[in-house]
C-alpha cells in the first residue's frame, strides 16, 4: 500500500464508508474494500484506480470543519491570487473565520452570500463556513440542522472550480490539491510548493 496516506492524524478513525454516509456523500467509484475499511485503505484504492476527483470528494468529508474551509480557501487562492484589496468578500471573510472561528466571523461570512456576484465561486468557501458545525448558521439558525454534507460539498466544489480555472495543468494541479489536503490532515498548513511526481502518486 502507498505511504501517501499515512499519518493523517486529523481525520476520523471510523470507516470511510461511515464518514461518507453521515455526510450523505456517495463516491462514483465502486469500492472493492469492505465497508469496514479505513480512510487510508479507501484512499489508496482510489489512487490505484486513478480516481482523483473521488479522492478530493472523500478528503472533503474527512477533514475537520476548520481545516476543510482552509483547504477550500487555498484552492480559491490558486486562481484568485495573493491577498489584495480586490479579494472577493466571501474568500476574505472565510479566511478570517479560519484564523478566528467566532460566531461573529461566521455571520460575516454568511452575510457575504447576500451580496456576492453571480460569477463569484468563492461563495463556496463561505457556504463551507456557514454550515461548518452542521447547523444552518449562527444565532437562531443554530437551532436547525444543515443539510447533511453541505459544508463538505461546498469545500469539494471550491476545489473542483480551481481545477476548472487551471484546466491547462489539470493533472499536476489535482495532485497538488490532494497533497495539500493530506498535509493539512497531518497537521500542516497546506503549503505545498510542488505536486508529487505523477509516477509516485499512482504507485
pLDDT one-digit tens code per residue, 150-201: 999 999 999 999 999 999 999 999 999 999 999 999 999 998 865 544 444 4
Average pLDDT over residues 58-69: 98
What integer pLDDT is reported at residue 194 of this predicted model?
Answer: 55
Separation CA 155–CA 27 (nearest Å):
16
Amino acid at each position: 500500500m502507498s505511504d501517501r496516506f499515512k499519518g493523517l492524524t486529523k481525520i476520523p478513525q471510523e470507516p470511510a464508508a461511515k464518514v461518507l454516509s453521515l455526510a450523505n456523500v456517495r463516491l462514483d467509484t465502486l469500492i472493492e474494500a469492505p465497508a469496514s475499511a479505513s480512510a487510508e485503505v479507501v484512499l489508496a484504492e482510489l489512487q490505484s484506480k486513478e480516481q482523483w476527483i473521488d479522492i478530493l470528494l472523500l478528503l472533503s468529508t474527512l477533514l475537520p470543519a476548520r481545516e476543510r474551509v482552509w483547504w477550500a480557501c487555498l484552492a480559491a487562492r490558486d486562481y484568485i491570487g495573493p491577498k489584495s484589496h480586490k479579494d472577493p468578500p466571501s474568500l476574505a471573510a472565510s479566511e478570517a473565520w479560519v484564523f478566528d472561528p467566532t460566531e461573529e466571523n461566521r455571520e460575516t461570512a454568511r452575510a457575504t452570500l447576500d451580496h456576492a456576484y453571480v460569477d463569484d465561486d468563492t461563495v463556496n468557501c463561505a457556504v463551507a463556513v456557514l454550515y461548518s458545525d452542521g447547523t444552518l448558521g449562527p444565532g437562531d439558525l443554530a437551532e436547525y440542522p444543515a443539510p447533511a454534507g453541505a459544508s463538505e460539498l461546498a469545500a469539494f466544489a471550491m476545489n473542483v472550480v480551481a481545477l476548472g480555472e487551471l484546466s491547462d495543468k489539470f493533472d499536476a494541479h489535482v495532485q497538488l490539491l490532494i497533497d495539500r489536503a493530506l498535509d493539512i490532515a497531518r497537521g500542516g498548513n497546506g503549503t505545498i510548493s510542488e505536486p508529487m511526481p505523477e509516477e509516485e502518486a499512482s504507485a
